[in-house]
Amino acid sequence: MNPTNDPSLTSWVTSAQGSDFPIQNLPWGIFSTEGDERRRAGVRIGDRVLDVDALQEAGLLDPVLPKGVFATGTLDAFIGLGRETWSAVRARLSELLRADVTRLAEDAVARTRALVPIEAAVMHLAVSVGGYTDFYSSREHATNVGRMFRPNDEPLLPNWLAIPIGYNGRASTVVVSGTPVRRPLGQMKAPTAPAPTFGPCRKLDFELEMAAVVGVANPMGAVMTVAEADRAIFGWALLDDWSARDIQAWEYVPLGPFQAKVFASSIGAWIVTAEALEPFRVAGPVQEPEPLPYLRHPAAMNLDVELEVAIRPKGAAEATVIARTNFAHMYWSTAQQLAHHAIGGCAMNIGDIIGSGTISGPTPDSLGSLLELSWNGTRPISLADGSSRTFLEDGDTVIFTGRATRGGLSIGFGVCEGEILPAHVREGW
């Protein structure tokens, strides 16, 4: 076992014990504060953000972390230092936070500078997202969609069991959790209508996903094995790949999603490292037929992460949990997705995002989209305030949470949330 994952470890930061952010987690993010608008690296511990820049200035990370590595206000340069550095820095941070190590705990000045209350932290995108690819890798989700839209045919197309299906998304609209999401405009056409209409999306949906952050660049023309792809992942965050279902239904043939997906993808502020998630690796579903050799798993590469979706209407006192599922259900793993993406010679860069695709499970309450939960609007979902939903309304806030749990230990991802704002409509449109 990696010593930083030892479940017996405790921290002198008392709020860490029993939280989603114990000493065994230490996820990375980028934050600022009202009194200091510099974007700087932080690691979450309990109800505090550990200011890594402050630790560097105090000399507490010498020599494992070079000075100035966070000068760009992102994690890009740090991630680019490679796995050995990620691991060494994690080990040093774990040591400084351990209950039996007093170096930081008893230095009142350094401790006060380094520990920021989470409510005082303004979170930002942790990496410069140069590329974003979204996959379609839940067998349950793909089967449900196929049954809805191709009721007289096999729900899975012939290629789905042979390759991880994906498309290149719009990286410029990947935004950090908490950023409001504007309802998109677009063309829509009802099945029986003679012509399309234009206006605000009427079937706005969320997609419950996980985002893998690429940590090792893969040059153009190069390829990687599934094992190499697995080791190229820095960590994972929650992801909501918002979807305009009615716009997508009209545009997606023959080239797939376009305007239905470009308006926003929300990512959680905290990246939980691959190292922290090592104890939660599990085997995925049996893949039959067996994939071609370049896609075969050398080991268990799925992750046992419990996920939850809630909706809070505007003005409502509470959110209603409408779905619970698990990342372990995914038919194609992140490592397979990344290996397949690179196999044609595509360059993968540090900070690129690999979206898992909608994560749906086998039961009616484990579906990762309103499209499935409401069965394309035919089964309204009741909320705690007495209202119901088939798709999202203006003012709704969608909240994702996730955690990996085992033996009383919880490794959390925080939240990924966004409020729906009304569409921008111009006179005459």
Active site residues per annotation: 141
* DSSP letter assigned to residue 365: G
HSE of 169, CA atoms in CB hemisphere, 13 A: 29
HSE of 253, CA atoms in CB hemisphere, 13 A: 3
HSE of 385, CA atoms in CB hemisphere, 13 A: 14
Using CA atoms of 196, 200, 205, 207 in order, give the dihedral in degrees to the nearest 10: 90
Phi and psi at residue 310, to the nearest 5°: -135, 155
- For 411: left if phi > 0, alpha if psi spans -120 to 50, otherwise beta; the answer is beta
**Residues 6 or more apart whose Cβ sits within 8 Å of residue 165:** 135, 136, 137, 142, 159
Containing 227, the helix (H) or strand (E) segment is helix 226-231
- Distance, CA of 184 to CA of 130 (rounded, Å): 23
